[in-house]
Amino acid sequence: MWSDAGERYKTPIADIFSAENKLQIQLRIEATLAKVQSKLGLVTEEEADRIANAVDRVSIERVKEIEAEIHHDLMAVVRALAEQAGAAGEKVHLGATSNDIQDTTLALQLSQVKTMLLDLLDNISQELFRLAKEFKDQPCIGRTHGQFAVPTTVGFKFANFLYELQLAKEKLEQAQVNISKFSGAIGNYASTHRLDIENELFDALGLEPTAISTQVVSRVVHANFMNAVALNASVLERISKEIRNLQRSEIKEWFEPFSSKQVGSSAMPHKRNPHKSERVSGLSRIIRNNVAVALENIALEHERDISHSSVERIIIPESTNLLYFISNQMLRILTGLEINIKGIEQNLKKAAGVSKSEQVLKRLVDKVGRQEGHELLRQHLHAEDYAKSVMNDPEITKYLSEEELKTLFSDIDTGLAIEKTDTILTQYQSDWANYRS
């Protein structure tokens, strides 16, 4: 906000929350309200037309000028519109309270933002689907706690990411942001004693009325949306961390795209830093932290206080803009991701011994039981060549022949990784046909 970050990470989402766009939405709502009230006989058709025609003559400069004098941003909009509406000016904002307009403005902004975010996340899902399918059969070593575990497949990794992103996207899709209220100062319709204005207004705007409200729509709605945004950011960070770790000099399995003229380090020309993935990780922290602030906004006093308002002007545009930014970054990363098969195979070879310990243990269970078998194999964990050390252990070779051990240590068993990947790919294709339709 007070640095170059605003421009550095700016996306089309920022335009939706710009002061100019917000003003246009507010004016549209006021004009639509007058049209609805004309239809219901509360203002004349001529008055509604005058208000609608005045919208284009309201300048943001005049609104700011009025706000500087009266210290109320929405009332500044109302007065600026009333000035341009002439004799119909007295009918502007009829029966409304500020948050009838403000929450409706936010609902329209968030509806547009949600669609944009989902469209971009859908593109990421398609890239994850492509990668899972392309590398479905490619064995690689799995890792837990940063250590060699057992073999899996590259496609299985991407299938996991695809599944998690689908779960997060579902939460974003389900987040109901297209709701607002036109129910007056404390939400009980005291100013109008009627529901038809709200119903007609939101029907015209493509929104839904909330079931009940105070002066504001419940901030549970917005906290739920912010949580869904953070869920998606967290999945993207999980993918970015895998890329960052597998790009390490001593691993060299995956590499994010790096252009021919790109610079990794000002001091070390050899560096190929995964800076885009690191950026995804870093910015996702801001998005997650904003969820806690959104939760604080729920507990407003009585029928409403204003403590949430200033906060939402920052955290909602910031989080949604940043999710769009890191989603776009992740799409670029995945589209150009380099999978180093040679590096993968070298690490599989390095792990050839220890990665088979589970398979050897399964054979020993039938001979000596699980606990004793586990202890026999654990004794070799510090060996430089785990497989050789195990095959030279007379306590183990009493139960398993050298030939049997050689077969176990040479086999690459990826379990049901390929079958499970196929399941996720099929599920994705099936769900995609009906997704968001």
Picking from 339, 333, 329, the residue whose alpha carbon sits closest to that of residue 282 is 329
First to last CA, the chain: 37
Q: Is 209 helix (H, G, I), strand (E, B) or coil?
A: strand
pLDDT at res. 148: 86
Fold of 5-91: Fumarase C; Chain B, domain 1 (1.10.275)
Q: Which residue has the higher pLDDT, 400 or 342?
A: 342
> Which sequence positions are flagged as catalytic?
145, 265
CB-based contact 54:48 (threshold 8 Å): no
Is the separation of the CB atoms in 216 and 304 below 8 Å? yes
Compute the distance between CA of residue 37 and CA of residue 39 in angstroms, rounded to an integer.
5
pLDDT band at 407 (very low <50, low <70, confident <90, very high): confident
Structure tokens at 189: 């319709």
Closest CA to 337 of 134, 122, 163, 116: 134
Q: Could you tell me the residue ranges of all domains in the chain?
A: 5-91, 98-347, 352-410
**Whole-number percent of the chain with pLDDT over 90:** 75
| Backbone φ and ψ of 27, nearest 5° | -65, -40
- How high is the pLDDT of residue 276? 93
For residues 268-284, give the mean pLDDT: 82
Q: pLDDT (tens digit, 9 = 90+) per residue, 150-207?
A: 899 999 999 999 999 999 999 999 999 999 999 999 999 999 999 999 999 999 999 9
By DSSP bridging, strand 208-209 and strand 179-180 are: parallel
pLDDT tens-digit profile of 95-133?
Answer: 999 999 999 999 999 999 999 999 999 999 999 999 999
**pLDDT score for 434:** 64
Q: Mean pLDDT throughout 287-295?
A: 97
| Tokens linked to 186 | 């404390």
What sign has the CA pseudo-torsion 215, 217, 218, 222?
negative
The reported pLDDT for the residue numbered 269 is 59
Phi and psi torsions of 375, nearest 5°:
-65, -40
User: What is the band of 433 on the pLDDT scale with cuts at 50, 70, 90?
Assistant: low
Give me the pLDDT at residue 134, please. 98
What six digits make up the tokens of 53?
């025609």
**Residue 233 — very low, low, confident or very high, per pLDDT cuts 50/70/90?**
very high
Q: Higher model confidence: residue 284 or residue 352? A: 284
Structure confidence at residue 436 (pLDDT): 54
Note the pLDDT of residue 271. 55
pLDDT of residue 352 exceeding 80? no
Average per-residue pLDDT for the chain: 90
User: Between the CA of residue 57 and those of 24, 49, 79, 84, 327, what are the distances in Å?
Assistant: 11, 14, 13, 7, 38
pLDDT tens digits, 304-343: 898 899 999 999 999 999 999 999 999 999 999 999 999 9
Q: How far apart are CA 330 and CA 336, in angstroms?
A: 10
| pLDDT reported for residue 366 | 75
Question: Residue 91 gets which letter from DSSP?
Answer: G
Domain 98-347: homologous superfamily in CATH: Fumarase/aspartase (Central domain) (1.20.200.10)
Band of pLDDT at residue 353, cut at 50, 70 and 90: low
Identify the bridge partners of residue 143 per DSSP, sorted by sequence position.
148
Which stretches of 247-356 are DSSP H helices? Answer: 275-296, 307-335, 341-350
Q: How far is CA 78 from the centre of its chain?
A: 36
Could you tell me how far CA 230 lies from the centroid of its own chain?
Answer: 5
Does the pTM surpass 0.75? The reply is yes
Alpha carbon 413 to its chain centroid, in Å, reads 35
| Residue 55, token pair as written in the block | 């919208």
Q: What is the pLDDT of residues 43-52, one digit of tens each?
A: 999 999 999 9
Closest CA to 360 of 415, 389, 388, 400: 400
Mean pLDDT of 205-216: 96
- Phi, psi dihedral angles at 153 (to 5 degrees): -130, 155
d(CA 326, CA 314): 18
- Give percent of the chain above pLDDT 70: 91
The pLDDT score that the predictor gives to residue 362 is 78
Check: CB of residue 149 under 8 Å from CB of residue 355.
yes
Backbone angles phi, psi at 151, to 5 degrees: -65, 150
Q: What would the mean pLDDT of 142-147 be, rounded to a whole number?
A: 94
Query: For strand 179-180 and strand 139-144, is the pairing parallel, antiparallel, or unpaired?
Result: unpaired
Angstrom distance (rounded) from CA 29 to CA 52: 10
What's the pLDDT at 3?
58
**254-271 residue pLDDT tens:** 999 866 566 555 555 555
Question: How many DSSP H helices and E strands does the chain contain?
Answer: 19, 6
The stretch 363-368 carries a mean pLDDT of 75
d(CA 125, CA 47): 50
387: amino acid identity, one letter = A
